[in-house]
Structure formats: structure tokens, C-alpha cells
Structure 1
Amino acid sequence: MITMMFQRAREVFILLFLAVFSKAVSIKSNYQRASPMPSSDGSASYCLSWRLAVEANNVRAWPMVPTQCMRHIESYMLGGQYDHDLDLIKDQILSYVNETVLNGDGMDAWILDVDDTCISNIFYYKGKRYGCDPYDPTGFKAWAIKGGCPAIPSVLAMFNKLVEKGFQVFLITGRDEETLGKATVGNLHNQGFVGYERLILRNATYKGKSAVIYKSEIRKQIEGEGYRIWGNVGDQWSDLQGDCLGIRTFKLPNPMYFVP
């Protein structure tokens, strides 16, 4: 009798052990299916962290996108997440715009950058491996003079709301006025940016000055004319640093290049 009881207890113990082990294996298997495994060299995790650090301005003066991150940047820019991020920022801007009460004297201003804020250079940077190749000013000028940059849809929609609200919209760009002025005006108009107050390009006075200094001085001039800057939008931190920034600033994502 004792032998039979011992054998029965042993069988029950084995069954319980197998049940617990099987459940543990199932949980581990489900977790592995739900959690994507990093690549063997860790590049996926590194590139995600690198892009976040770039947008937070923790990585500065970076000359090129790390080579191992080219596919990550391509996927971000063309895979939908970039557009989702822009839409969220646009919604935040318009929420702020809807809360503003303008004075009605025509002196309520808004600042917008141009390249990769209003219009996109994604097709140019595709040929530059999304920023993995060195910046080529001659090549970019040849691209920009064609006037083929498409509008960034969320920003165009925001621009139209700003104009409709009654803001005087100033477009400030680091593009050279002499060589790219006409092409830039035509490009913006063809893409639907109609009704802005003024397009300001870099002229000889600001040649060699950093974007921060150049754009600060332009904003100071605008305020000197009596305008009140309610908002300032750009894809580079240098668009949003310096003097006379306005009441609020909004940074758009751009992991393809850095402008000091």
C-alpha cells in the first residue's frame, strides 16, 4: 500500500512539474513574439537612440548620419512615422493658434523656415543616402534651382490656417537670395504657399554668419517694424535659438542634416 501511495504521489509531482514548465515556456515564447529582437550588431537600438538624441539636441554639430543608420532614417522618413510626427506637431500648433486672440492691426506675425519645414528635400537626400554622404553645397544648389521641392502637407495645411486666422507669415530661409531667390519664390507658389507677408533669403550682408545669428537679426528687424511674433517653426534647432524667438517655438523632426 505504501509503495502504491508513493508511486501515485510521484506521478502527481511529475504532472504538476510538467504543467508549470509548459506554462513558463509558453509565457517566454509569447514574450519573444511580442518583443522584437534587436539586430545582432545592435544597430536598430543604436539608431533609434541616436535619432532621439538628435531631435532633443543632445547630439550637436554632427556632420553626417552614421552609415549604419541609413536604413533606419529611410524607414522613418518614408515609412509613415515622420508624417505622423508632423501631424501631431501641426495639431499642437493649431491648438495654440486657436487660443490666440489677435489685435486686428495687421501686426501679429508668425515665422516659418523654408527647407524641410515648408517644402521637402527628401528626394535630394535620397541620393545622398539620407544624410550619410557629406553635404555638397554645389549639388544642393543645382537641386534647389530646379524648384521641384514638394510641399510638406501638414505644414501647408497649418500655413493656410495661419493666413486665414490673420497672421502675417514671414518665411525665413538660409538660401542665397541672388542665386536661388527666383526659384524659391516659384517653388513655394507652385506648392500652394500663397498669401505670406514676406520671403526673406540670405543676402550678402549675412554671408558667412551662422544660421542662429542670421535669423536672430532678421527676427529683430521684424520686431523693430512693430510686429509681434506669436510663433516660430523650423526643422533645425538653429531656427529656434538666439534672439526674438517669439512667444512659442515648435521644432519639426529632421534626422538627415544639421545646420549650425
Structure 2
Amino acid sequence: MKFAVFFLATFLVASQCHGGSFRSFPLEMPTGYGDGVSHDDVRCASWRLAVEAQNIFGFETIPEQCVDSTAAYIEGGQYQSDSKTVNQQVFFYASDLKIQDNDVVIFNVDGTVLSNIPYYSQHGYGSEKFNSTRYDEEFVNKGDAPALPETLKNYNKLLGLGVKIIFLTGRLTDKKAVTEANLRKAGFHTWEKLILKEPSNGQNTLEYKSTERGKLVQQGYRIIANVADQWSSLKGGNQGLRSFKLPNPLYFIE
């Protein structure tokens, strides 16, 4: 016997800017829905989907009732599986191209290449407001962030195709040495360029990365893929042939 269960999860975004609030209506479902599945688990899975699809954005923290569900998603294997699927598609796409000497794949760093899960697991999985000073002191400056395993596998496969790798990060230029050392320690042994942001650059992430991609195009590179965990790293000008969004339900960067 087949049982059809219908549920409605409606999310309204109240602001489009960084730090804006959002409103969400409770998930409505029949009594007894989903044996062993809590209403919060279902509702928070819907919330994560809305974040990844950019139907919810501009939030400073994840909903408090979604902390346990988010931790289970990150630590339970689904997060790595989702990351694997995206990275596989990057490689499959590149494999179908006739690779040229000027072809590059752009990777963001934090949350894309280097995992910042060790930091966020100690700070409520996104339920605490972001503190840039604390993030630098407890995470960036230590230089021991592990690789996202599926991204590292993809990185090595892309190098095998003859693709050049460019890392484009919002980290400031004073973090160049520690970032280079951390990348090598994590297994990323070679790259074409590592681009960091000048402290005097007042552009937001979308503007800054669009500008830097434009410079790469002017230098003669063909961007065959742009890979990141934030939409602001993927949208804007000079996106390249394809953009690939890795999962990240923990935070939003404008």
C-alpha cells in the first residue's frame, strides 16, 4: 500500500542584505508523519534546501532549532556525499572539453578547498554570529585547516587533465603566507595563482571576485569552471563556462 503524504514548508525572506532577518512559517503535516523523524528535522532540511537554492539569504545565523539537524547533516555523511556529487560534475564537465593551455578552474578557499567545519563545529554550526577577529585567530592564523576531501580528489583529477588551478579568496593579502602553507599542508601542492584581497579594497565579495575574474580573462585565461560554496563567489561578471555550487548551510556571505 502506498501512502501519499503532503507537507507545506513556506519560507519568506524579509531582507536581501547581509545580516537581514527572515521569517519562516511552521511546517504543517499530519500527526504521525515520518516514523522517527522529528518535525524540526524535516523543516530544517527544507530550510537548507532553500538556502542552497538562494531562496533564503541575508541571514546572520541559522535557526536555533536547526543546530542539531545541521550538525547531523555535516557530520553524518550527507554533506560529504553532496560535496562529492558536485565535484564529480566539475570533473565530468572538464573531461568533455578539449583542454587548452590557458584553461583554468577557479576555486574559492574557505568552505570550498579548506574545510572550516572544525571552526564552526565549535561555534554552534552557524548559530553564532560571525566574528572575523575570532575566525582569524582560532582558524586562519593556525594554518592547519584540513582539505575538503572530495575537493582534493577533484583537484588532483583536474591537474591530470592538464587544467590549471587558480585559488580566489576573500582572505586579505596579509594572510598569504599562512594560506599558502595551509594549502600545501592539506595536499594542494601546486597552483597557477593564489589571489587574495587588498585591505584597501572596499568591494563586497560579488564585486571583488567579478573584478578579479575579469582580470584573468584579460590576461588570456579561459575560465572553464568556477567552484565555490557561496553564491556571491559565483555570480556577477566573467563567470566562466560553468559555475558549480558546493553545499554550505552554515553562513551567508554577500
Contact 1:230 1:248 in 2 (8 A): yes
Alpha-carbon contact 2:125-2:250 (below 8 Å) kept: yes
Structure 1 runs, 4 residues or longer, greater than 6 Å off: none
User: In the TM superposition, what are the counterparts of 1:125-164 in structure 2 within 5 Å?
Assistant: 125-142=120-137, 143-164=139-160
Equivalent residue for 2:71? 74
Change beyond 3 A, Cα 1:47–1:193: same
1:232–1:248: 8 Å Cα contact kept in structure 2? yes
For the Cα contact (< 8 Å) 2:83–2:150, is it kept in 1?
Answer: yes
Partner of 1:45: 42
Distance 1:38 1:159 in 2: 37
Report the Cα distance in structure 2 between the residues aligned to 1:255 and 1:155, rounded to whole angstroms: 17
* Inter-partner Cα distance in structure 1 for 2:37 and 2:226: 38
What is the rounded CA distance, in whole Å, between the counterparts of 2:70 and 2:63 in structure 1? 10
Task: Measure, in 1, the Cα distance between the counterparts of 2:99 and 2:122.
Answer: 44
SS of alignment partner, residue 168 of structure 2: strand
**CA distance, structure 2, for counterparts of residue 204 and residue 191 of structure 1:** 26
User: How much does 1:35 deviate?
Assistant: 3.4
Q: Cα distance, 1:97 vs. partner? A: 1.4
Code of the aligned partner of 1:127: Q
Preserved CA contact (<8 Å) 2:144 2:185:
no
Contiguous gaps of at least 5 residues in structure 2: 4-30
How much has 1:36 moved relative to structure 2? 2.2
Q: How does 1:1-260 map to 2 (within 5 A)?
A: 35-39=34-38, 42-103=39-100, 106-142=101-137, 143-178=139-174, 180-206=175-201, 208-260=202-254
CA contact (8 A) 1:163 1:196 kept: no
User: In 2 relative to 1, CA 131–34 (structure 1 residues): closer, same or farther, beyond 3 Å?
Assistant: closer
Bigger mean CA offset, 46-55 vs 87-96: 87-96
**Hey, what's the Cα distance between the residues in 1 that align with 2:91 and 2:205?**
26
Q: Which has the larger displacement, 63-72 or 88-97?
A: 88-97
The structure where helix makes up a greater share of residues is 1
Provide TM-score, normalisation by structure 1.
0.83
2: CA distance between counterparts of 1:48 and 1:197?
38
- Among the aligned pairs, what percent are the same residue? 37
Give, as a single letter, the amino acid of the residue that structure 1 aligns with 2:249. P
Q: Could you tell me how far apart the structure 2 residues matched to 1:33 and 1:80 are?
A: 26
Who is 2:21 aligned against?
none
AA aligned opposite 2:131 = D
AA at the equivalent of 2:91:
L
2:105 counterpart SS class: strand
TM-score (norm 2): 0.85
CA distance in 1, matches of 2:200, 2:215: 14
What is the aligned residue count?
225
Q: Secondary structure at the match of 1:201?
A: strand
Letter in 1 for 2:218: G
Encode CA deviations 1:125-144: one digit per residue, 9 max, x unaligned: 01110000010100001121
Other structure's SS at 2:94 match: helix
